[in-house]
Structure 1
Amino acid sequence: MYKQAEFEDDSSSVGSVQLAEGVSATSTHIRYHTGTTLWKARTLLEKGLLVLAALLALVVFILGTLLSVTSKQVSLLRVQHVDGRGPGDLCLTLPCVMVASSILESLNQHVDPCHDFYEFSCGGWVKNNPIPYEKSIWGTFGKLEQQNQLVIKNVLERPESEFASDAERKAKHYYASCMDANDTIEALGARPMLELLKKVGGWNVSGKFDVSSWSLQSALHVLQNTYNMGGLFTWIVSADDRNSSRNIIQIDQGGLTLPARDNYLNKTMNKKILTAYLDYMTKVGVLLNGEENSTRKQMQDVIDFETELAKLTTPLEDRRDDEKNYHNMSISALQELAPFMNWRDYFNDAMRHRSKPRKVSEKETVVVYAPEYLHNISHLIKEYNSTDKGKIILNNYLVWQMVRSMTAYMSQAFRDAYKGLRKVLMGLEGGDEPWRYCVADTSSVIGFAVGAMFVKEVFVGNSKPMAEDMINEVRDAFKRNLKNLHWMDEETRKSAEKKADAISDMIGFPNYILDPTALDETYKYLIFKSDEYFENNVRANRYNFRMSLDMLDEPVNRTRWGMSPPTVNAYYAASKNQIVFPAGLLQSPFYDIRHPHSLNYGSMGVVMGHELTHAFDDQGREYDENGNLHKWWNNRTIEKFKERTDCMVNQYSKYDLNNKYINGKQTLGENIADNGGLKAAYHAYLKWQAEHEEEMRLPGLNFTHRQLFFLSFAQVWCSASTDETTDLQIEKDTHSPPRFRVVGPLSNFDEFSKEFKCPMGSYMNPKSKCEVW
């Protein structure tokens, strides 16, 4: 289960790096420029652009002072200003000057674009945007997210009387409880968790636990079904992959605390991480009345148990074939497969928490994605469950999953306990400023109420139809290219065209959030109080569990969003054959209706193409136009497809950062989407360009608009991160690091080399290229 009920489990996002950074701390910003003046540090081209901007300001001033001249003169001057044309067809509107300045400042013109286009496009950005103290990764996604957070903060701090719905007032109450102006959280200290430990049956670490009356079955009922906590495995209610019109219970492997499976298995390489993890666990246990030496020993036992779980899990790169992963079975078959508990009793206990409780029979079907894992942990649990010491370890592990997930809602001492582990995992001890943390947390808990506030505040209405037009143009370009793919047989090609046509899109926000009655109905069971931060999160967990269970007997809601409107991201949902672009992303630098089309197609157009291509990546291709998982490709075409994906796996597996190689298998789907999205968006732009007048040039930039397309694409991924976060991303993320999201697709794309005149055999124009779509 998940904290945010709206989360889509089968989605593929564009991937602003989503690595949790823990709890907040006061921000300290690092100054960058030292030892030189800003003017001396600029290039001649930058100086020229700044002079040009100053001249534009002077022109505007002169226009303002000429209001007393004749009406004919004023009219002519106004036409010239509105049109924005300067000498030589330069665009001198303020948006053009500002975006040209932004592009210029991001460049490193000392680098040959054919040698390293990422460094050429982003070297200046990295130099001028050092990673803030409170961040482990910093890029264009993060900067835009911070702008959105400021908008949300200003709205959340308005008087309640200004809100249109109770749901928005609930968001304000939750935000207030997080900000904790009255220091209630500090005054309570460990009390909220100690009271919760009593309710779940106690914890041996804190000294109050009776092993003689404990059973695994009862513990799972309380911890997972009553309080929606994790451990041993994961399960959700979501669309059935083979029948996407209905919801079904889905069960998968899970239960590890550290972010990567290898953190447990490669003990030599990850000694610092495991040591920091044990220190973190011990500090939290001591804060909850544990004796330090005993706590450390018991927590080491928990780590040892998690290590055994890690051994039984299948690596991410080996779980990319959804047809092989999918196993539909009855509850009775599941019981035979994994007899470590009574599954029928477990799900019947869960169903008590629905709005309308019901029973589960032995014939009820579920989908199991990791049957081997569930079978193997049955043997592991049987071994531990056979002795009192083993039972204590099992309970310590399960309760630890609850404790660690709730420490962020407790006093500073509990939040500080995480600093050491955060440092070794991500390279920083601090976190966001408190208000930023609380805005993000409020958005994750009651996202569509926050989204309603955000949309009413900033979303430009005409962005939605214009974005819709761009999606259709990118889709048409993708379909036109299908005819050029000689490895596809005709029958599969026609089916692929049908699927592309069937992809639905949702842009900006769901309409219901602007209807106070409908929004209130969504959150009617959710109760928040301004001075109960810990309890608010207990309620949120239980609410999300209830909402998920209520979906079980309902048809799949294809208009349900998996990301809230302020989110700076996008996704494709395979079971719905749907692409979604929240309002938070439809802003500069990704999308601005005042910018040249070359920039919008290069940034937002590629994002659209990326999500659309996910429908045809190594996983998405297994789902048909209705979102149903089955084989609809010709065998020979599948073989040809795999030959091409093998090329891409090998290509990306040769890229390395920090002496660690990218996992080409783990990142395959995102790499296919990056490559296909670039190609579709570029050809959509070429068609637009052929049908319209040539756009005005941007001032200070000696680039054609086709070159600007590629620059816009590359600069979306300008970013920097700590070494630790880069390592973690390589281990865990299904997306390649930003550098290779630029270098990889462009080095495969002949049109890029043509526009930048990159010689054959150069780094950006290798002789051997990979192409799937």
Structure 2
Amino acid sequence: MFSSAALLAVFLFGPNGFTRGTHMTISTHAVPGVCLAPECITVASAILSAMNHKVDPCDDFYEFACGGWVKQNPLPDGKSIWSTFGKLWQENQLVMKNILDDDTRPTNSVAERLAKTYYLSCLDQNSTIEALGSTPIDELLSQLGGWNISSSGFNVTSWKLQSAIELAQNTYSRSVFFAWMVAPDERNSSRHIITLDQGGLTLPSRDYYLNKTDREKTVTALKQYITQVGVLMGSNEEEAKTQAESIVNLELRMAEVTMPEDERRDEKALYNKMRIMDLQRLASFIDWVSFFRSGFSLVNISVTGRTEVVVLVPSYFRQLSVIIKDILAKPTGKITLANYIGWQTVNSLVGALAPSFREAQRVLQRALMGADGAEATWRQCISDTNNVLGLALSSMFVREVFDEQSKPVAEQMVREVKNAFKENLPYLNWMDDETRELAKDKADHVTDMIGFPSFISDRDKLDAKFEGLEMREAEYFDNNLRISQWMLLKNMRRLQRPSQRGEWDMSPIQVNAYYTPSKNQIVFPAGILQAPFYDKNYPSRSLNFGAMGVVMGHELTHAFDDQGREYDKEGNLKQWWNNRTIEAFQQRAKCFIDQYSSYKLNNDSINGKSTLGENMADNGGLKAAFHAYRGWLQSNTEFAPLPGVNLTHEQLFYVGFAQVWCSTETPEATHMQVLVDAHSPAKYRVIGTLSNSVEFSKTYKCKPTSPMNPPRKCEVW
């Protein structure tokens, strides 16, 4: 959100030597035709205070638009990233705190009571969590056969890998060695299928294990974290260190056979359908029929060797089987595997244990993020509640603050952005006519969901979504297990049910948006339909189009990026482009890969290949939104200029776009983003996108030699 600076801030950030294209002038006198309404003064003040007027926009538009914001917004204590997204999320959290803390708000909704009970169990005002210490996790580990590091009764003779994996995955919903779920069948999006993927690493990327520099810092911190948790659970420090070493060595071997993210962008190559009996031949370290029966028997679904599954990375499962069999051949093999499974289980639940466990985790958080992530308990509890009971929480949020009139205005903006995207298709000379018509047809079939699902306003329908779930105020750890188990059962039941296009994959409170290829659907939650992204009462429509309009265009363009283009209008994985057009697309995609790979932050080079889809979406979204805004101007009149902001409305469009990406972060957080995030860092989401825009350079009158107007520009959509 824009910082709420007073008009004084406008004077503080007056002109400072900026001359090219446009300039800032501040006056205390009324100017004819200038909007002096309170909302205009507030917005103008926020825009100006976020800017750095000493910088030429044609040299570095990110610094021009965000330099003041970065200076005024140092990282808060405990935070590794601070941004407009984060500020808006904190405001949403405060709204929810006021609702949940207010005992005078009675509710007849079972779902809303579940959310409040979970929130209170997380707050733990009676210090129940601390009093329990490691008892809850000790009891769970005993069910898994014990953990050699703790005092949970590990017996190497009776321990069985099959049973431990089945219990961890299919009773307690913990991902050990691999991940699996029931998901839409990418080649027949109307049905669901069991899908397996690589997984099971503690660190967020294989590179943290394999890169020597990263390994020295983060792997050392990981070992310290495991050791400290072991000590908290009753082990002596030397024994805990030894076992931590064996766990990390196993994860290192797993990292070596894990497919890098930039090699996972070909959707067709990832789709490997086979029968469970074929999976058994591929990876025989467990009995797969028995494994799946241990889960699906709980929902009365039959599984046989002929049941179909999709394995996303067959090479990982094949090599994982070799690793596990090699370890089992050693005298200490069972201990190593049991320690790994125990560790993954403990690590996934550390946040639900006593404060001493969470403090141990901060050693790793500091190494990874440059900050320990500590924040007020109530904020963490709002986030946790949103993660597990987001729809119930959203019901209260929407009722409290969401403006119903925002929804139709946003829906109209989506239509305008979509029309602008389609109107540009005839000008793409790299596409053949048949593919162009199919692309238009796919764009026509993109459905949108805005704000929130209607059923959350219907108490009975909302309550039905949480049928069978139970919460108890004094049982935060057990509440987390109950939710995990309930969600696992809910997911498994999908196997015999058709795919539902109206299901939300994100809490409506989230400050985010998304596109789902298998549904050909774009979603814009209520959480992001607020300033600075969107406000139906903004005193300049250019700000709405520059911020939220670009987000809408971004998600729409995902339907046509390097992965989304592989899905047809019904959401099925299918080749609907001809080979010549595919080749032309790939040539243009390489331009983006090369461009973004040339950008560096703190000596980290952006991976232009793994960020390709997001970079395409940023560029296509900006273009579609700008054209949509120009289309809106043809039949509408803009508001009067904002006071003190000597920018045209078209220039203001680009400032609105850039200022939603104002952020600051630690070097460690930047490094992690470069390694694991499919998005480019915020600075280059602005610079990379705008330097490809001919309209931007014309709007700001950038010379051909200026950094923001390079001779080579990348464009697909």
Which category describes the TM-score, using the shorter chain as reference length?
Answer: over 0.9
Amino acid at match of 2:234: N
User: 2:609 matched to 1:682?
Assistant: no
Report if the CA contact (8 A) 1:134-1:433 is conserved: no
| Distance in 1 (alpha carbons) for counterparts of 2:445 and 2:14 | 51
Q: Which of 366, 369, 375 is 1:426 aligned to?
A: 369
Deviations 1:95-128 (A, max 9, x none): 2211111100000000111000000000000001
Look up the match of 1:626. 570
Secondary structure of the 2:511 match is coil
User: 2:245 matched to 1:306?
Assistant: no
| Distance in 2 (alpha carbons) for counterparts of 1:428 and 1:675 | 32
Post-superposition shift, 1:296?
0.5
Secondary structure of the 2:351 match is helix
Look up the match of 1:667. 611
User: 2:179 matched to 1:249?
Assistant: no
Look up the match of 1:525. 468
TM-score (norm 1): 0.89
Post-superposition shift, 1:269?
3.7
User: 2:98 matched to 1:128?
Assistant: no
User: 2:431 matched to 1:461?
Assistant: no
Worse-matched range after superposition: 205-214 or 499-508: 205-214
User: 2:669 matched to 1:725?
Assistant: yes
Look up the match of 1:91. 35
User: 2:419 matched to 1:476?
Assistant: yes
Amino acid at match of 1:348: R
Post-superposition shift, 1:280?
0.4
Report if the CA contact (8 A) 2:446-2:522 is conserved: yes
Post-superposition shift, 1:591?
0.4
User: 2:446 matched to 1:446?
Assistant: no
Post-superposition shift, 1:40?
12
Q: Which of 221, 224, 228 is 2:169 aligned to?
A: 224
User: 2:363 matched to 1:415?
Assistant: no
Post-superposition shift, 1:44?
3.6
CA, structure 1 residues 644+299, in 2 after alignment: closer, same or farther (shift >3 Å)? same
User: 2:333 matched to 1:390?
Assistant: yes
User: 2:126 matched to 1:182?
Assistant: yes
TM-score (norm 2): 0.96
| Distance in 2 (alpha carbons) for counterparts of 1:498 and 1:329 | 32
Report if the CA contact (8 A) 1:49-1:699 is conserved: no
User: 2:347 matched to 1:377?
Assistant: no
Matches within 5 A, 1:605-624: 605-624=549-568
CA, structure 1 residues 485+540, in 2 after alignment: closer, same or farther (shift >3 Å)? same
Post-superposition shift, 1:41?
8.7
Q: Give the ranges of 4+ consecutive aligned residues of structure 1 lying more than 3 Å apart after TM superposition.
A: 38-41, 43-46, 48-52
Post-superposition shift, 1:746?
0.4
Report if the CA contact (8 A) 1:706-1:755 is conserved: yes
Look up the match of 2:515. 572
Post-superposition shift, 1:50?
9.0
Q: Which of 662, 678, 695 is 2:639 aligned to?
A: 695
Post-superposition shift, 1:695?
2.6
| Distance in 1 (alpha carbons) for counterparts of 2:386 and 2:107 | 16
User: 2:7 matched to 1:42?
Assistant: no
Matches within 5 A, 1:61-140: 87-140=31-84
Post-superposition shift, 1:570?
0.2
Post-superposition shift, 1:39?
7.5
Amino acid at match of 1:545: L
| Distance in 1 (alpha carbons) for counterparts of 2:668 and 2:551 | 27
| Distance in 2 (alpha carbons) for counterparts of 1:254 and 1:89 | 60
Worse-matched range after superposition: 331-340 or 157-166: 157-166
Post-superposition shift, 1:270?
2.7
Q: Which of 228, 240, 246 is 1:283 aligned to?
A: 228
Report if the CA contact (8 A) 1:173-1:528 is conserved: yes
Secondary structure of the 1:238 match is strand
Worse-matched range after superposition: 217-226 or 567-576: 217-226
Amino acid at match of 1:408: G
Look up the match of 2:275. 330
Amino acid at match of 1:235: W
Q: Which of 326, 340, 346 is 1:403 aligned to?
A: 346
Report if the CA contact (8 A) 1:232-1:253 is conserved: yes
Worse-matched range after superposition: 493-502 or 154-163: 154-163
Question: Aligned residues: percent identity?
Answer: 51
Deviations 1:566-617 (A, max 9, x none): 1000000000000000000000000011111100000000000000000000
Deviations 1:438-484 (A, max 9, x none): 11111101110000000000110111011010001000100111100
| Distance in 2 (alpha carbons) for counterparts of 1:742 and 1:317 | 22
Q: Which of 634, 655, 658 is 2:602 aligned to?
A: 658
Report if the CA contact (8 A) 2:80-2:369 is conserved: yes
Secondary structure of the 2:498 match is coil
User: 2:536 matched to 1:593?
Assistant: yes
Post-superposition shift, 1:352?
2.3
Matches within 5 A, 1:144-223: 144-159=88-103, 162-207=106-151, 208-223=153-168
CA, structure 1 residues 536+50, in 2 after alignment: closer, same or farther (shift >3 Å)? farther
Deviations 1:178-228 (A, max 9, x none): 111111111111111111111221011114211111211111111111100
Report if the CA contact (8 A) 2:221-2:367 is conserved: yes
Deviations 1:612-658 (A, max 9, x none): 00000000000000000011101000000000000100000000000
Secondary structure of the 2:149 match is helix
Deviations 1:49-107 (A, max 9, x none): 9985xx9xxxxxxxxxxxxxxxxxxxxxxxxxxxxxx7422122222211111100000
Report if the CA contact (8 A) 2:15-2:54 is conserved: no
| Distance in 1 (alpha carbons) for counterparts of 2:708 and 2:582 | 29
| Distance in 2 (alpha carbons) for counterparts of 1:703 and 1:268 | 46
| Distance in 2 (alpha carbons) for counterparts of 1:565 and 1:49 | 40
Report if the CA contact (8 A) 2:541-2:638 is conserved: no
Post-superposition shift, 1:386?
2.2
Look up the match of 1:486. 429
Amino acid at match of 1:623: Y
Post-superposition shift, 1:160?
7.2
User: 2:707 matched to 1:763?
Assistant: yes
CA, structure 1 residues 413+578, in 2 after alignment: closer, same or farther (shift >3 Å)? same
Look up the match of 1:10. none
Amino acid at match of 1:312: V
Deviations 1:540-576 (A, max 9, x none): 1111101101111000011000111110000000000
Worse-matched range after superposition: 236-245 or 199-208: 199-208
Post-superposition shift, 1:267?
2.9
Look up the match of 2:584. 640
Post-superposition shift, 1:164?
3.5
User: 2:655 matched to 1:711?
Assistant: yes
Report if the CA contact (8 A) 2:549-2:625 is conserved: yes
Look up the match of 1:347. 292
Amino acid at match of 1:555: P
Secondary structure of the 1:237 match is strand
Q: How many residues align?
A: 703
Report if the CA contact (8 A) 1:226-1:353 is conserved: no
| Distance in 1 (alpha carbons) for counterparts of 2:48 and 2:382 | 32
Deviations 1:719-757 (A, max 9, x none): 000111001101110000000000001000011000111
Look up the match of 1:272. 217
Deviations 1:374-424 (A, max 9, x none): 111111111112234111101110111110111111111101101211111
Amino acid at match of 1:692: N
Deviations 1:350-387 (A, max 9, x none): 11232xx1210111111111111111111111111223
Report if the CA contact (8 A) 1:160-1:169 is conserved: no
- In structure 2, stretches of 5+ residues that fail to align are 17-23
Report if the CA contact (8 A) 2:417-2:552 is conserved: yes
